[in-house]
């Protein structure tokens, strides 16, 4: 048969939907990018407690001098010397410790912890979306494969029509136009099969891209689309806020916005610091012209103390930042409500489509048997010469339409099932 030649050159392995999902979880670029962001949040949170530690800095400065000096003293004497060399060494270790900042450092630590949780939720959200795309693409390949088999069945009928028409024409019982029309219909099905095979190859490349596999990676998919025909709407809508990652991300953004408001309000309070330093300085002069100037001078010691920064007036900038933080909370709450409305609407529409496709599938399962029987009868009648080519062709078209509706109903039922699982958030464990 024609289609056999397309795969005879390749040893193709069966790739299941579960294996496609597993490949995507390891290799999909969108998931890897979100995981990288999550890792960055986790790294920031790992060092969150460092905000409570003091800051210690050291400095050192060495200067060499070469000066010309002239001095005129009160007694009228003058001193003039050139090329007086000296060097200065200054070093220090400084400690600065924030003791109180309106509890802002505690809010910042909490915000970083919430960002880590947000990163984890974002990964799950991307995983759910990617898995839904993977499954939809995978079962679309299965659908097109079933469509190809339906075309091959039509080809076998058209091939039989050509043989019957040729025999009739050779014995003078048929007409040449009838034979030509049969061959035209057979060639049309061959062209459709070629187009269908190309579509399947293109969809496989899309799946390769989603799973980050090399272009041209050859594989075969299963022959059927497994369906769950017992999905309960009540179970889908129960506890959405704890299962749907989109809603969880929106709620987490509300929590982060509230913590940011606490950080802004803390800026109204004074900031108290503990400061300490150890200082060392050394000056050496090779020569002096003033007898009171030492040739060597060295100082070393430490100091400590407290300092406070009291915000008195900053052109109401703190008030502006607080208002912005409050507006951000309102925005995040409105965004959450909007997302919840969209998801509830999506679930309602997806379930209605799921219910319709189930009923359509049951009807088309029955209808395909009728269409097959009708074609078998029409073909036998045509073989016996009691029906025309047109009657057989009409029966074939009815069978083709029945196959199209049946395959579409199977796929659309699966797509609705995937969409309900995506909206629920349990499409992956």
Q: Which domains does the chain have, with CATH numbers?
A: 12-53+101-139+223-269+316-424 (1.20.1600.10), 56-98+270-310 (no CATH)
Q: What is the DSSP letter of 163?
A: H
Query: Residue 324 in 3-state DSSP?
Result: helix
Closest CA to 367 of 391, 392, 400: 400
Place of tokens 């990652």: 245
C-alpha to C-alpha distances, 216 to 30, 87, 405, nearest whole angstrom: 21, 73, 31
Paired residues of 211 in beta bridges? none
What pLDDT score does 389 carry?
78
Query: Residue 276 in 3-state DSSP?
Result: strand
Contacts of 366 (CB under 8 A, 6+ apart): none
CA atoms within 13 A on the CB side of 188: 10
pLDDT in tens, the chain (429 residues): 434 443 444 456 899 999 999 999 999 999 999 999 999 999 999 999 988 999 999 999 999 988 777 777 777 777 777 887 888 999 999 999 999 999 999 999 999 999 999 999 999 999 999 999 999 999 999 999 999 999 999 899 888 888 888 887 787 777 788 888 888 988 999 999 999 999 999 999 999 999 999 988 888 999 999 999 999 999 999 999 999 999 999 999 999 999 999 999 999 999 999 999 999 998 887 766 666 677 788 889 999 999 999 999 999 999 999 999 999 999 999 999 999 999 999 999 999 999 999 999 999 999 999 998 998 888 888 888 777 778 888 888 899 999 999 999 999 999 999 999 999 998 875
Q: Cβ(45)–Cβ(110) under 8 Å?
A: no
Q: Cβ(237)–Cβ(227) under 8 Å?
A: no
What pLDDT score does 158 carry?
85
Contacts of 195 (CB under 8 A, 6+ apart): none
Q: Cβ(86)–Cβ(283) under 8 Å?
A: yes
What pLDDT score does 2 carry?
39
Q: What is the DSSP letter of 13?
A: E
């Amino acid at each position: 048969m024609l289609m056999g030649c397309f795969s005879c050159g390749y040893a193709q392995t069966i790739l299941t939907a579960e294996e496609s999902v597993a490949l995507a979880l390891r290799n999909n670029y969108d998931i890897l990018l979100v995981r990288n962001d999550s890792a960055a949040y986790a790294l920031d949170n790992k060092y969150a407690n460092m905000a409570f530690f003091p800051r210690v800095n050291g400095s050192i400065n060495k200067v060499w001098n070469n000066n010309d000096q002239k001095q005129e003293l009160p007694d009228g004497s003058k001193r003039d010397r050139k090329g007086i060399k000296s060097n200065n060494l200054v070093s220090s270790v400084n400690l600065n410790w924030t003791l109180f900042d309106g509890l802002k450092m505690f809010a910042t630590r909490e915000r970083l912890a919430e960002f880590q949780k947000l990163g984890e939720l974002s990964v799950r959200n991307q995983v759910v979306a990617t898995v839904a795309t993977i499954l939809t693409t995978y079962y679309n390949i299965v659908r097109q494969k079933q469509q190809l088999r339906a075309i091959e069945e039509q080809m076998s009928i058209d091939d039989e029509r050509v043989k019957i028409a040729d025999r009739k024409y050779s014995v003078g019982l048929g007409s040449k136009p009838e034979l030509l029309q049969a061959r035209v219909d057979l060639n049309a099905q061959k062209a459709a099969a070629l187009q269908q095979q190309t579509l399947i190859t293109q969809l496989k490349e899309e799946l390769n891209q989603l799973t980050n596999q090399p272009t041209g990676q050859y594989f075969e998919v299963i022959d059927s689309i497994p369906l769950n025909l017992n999905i309960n709407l009540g179970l889908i809508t129960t506890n959405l806020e704890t299962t749907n990652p989109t809603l969880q991300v929106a709620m987490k953004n509300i929590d982060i916005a509230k913590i940011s408001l606490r950080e802004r309000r803390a800026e109204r309070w004074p900031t108290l610091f503990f400061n300490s330093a150890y200082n060392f300085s050394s000056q050496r002069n090779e020569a002096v012209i003033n007898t009171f100037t030492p040739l060597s001078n060295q100082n070393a010691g430490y100091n400590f103390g407290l300092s406070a920064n009291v915000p008195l007036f900053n052109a109401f900038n703190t008030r502006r930042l607080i208002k912005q933080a409050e507006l951000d909370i309102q925005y995040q709450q409105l965004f959450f409500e909007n997302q919840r409305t969209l998801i509830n609407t999506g679930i309602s529409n997806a379930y209605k489509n799921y219910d319709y496709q189930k009923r359509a599938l049951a009807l088309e399962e029955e209808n395909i048997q009728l269409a097959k029987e009708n074609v078998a009868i029409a073909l036998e009648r045509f073989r016996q010469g009691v029906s025309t080519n047109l009657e057989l062709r009409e029966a074939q078209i009815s069978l083709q339409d029945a196959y199209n509706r049946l395959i579409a109903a199977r796929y659309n039922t699966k797509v609705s099932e995937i969409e309900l699982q995506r909206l629920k958030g349990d499409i992956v464990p």
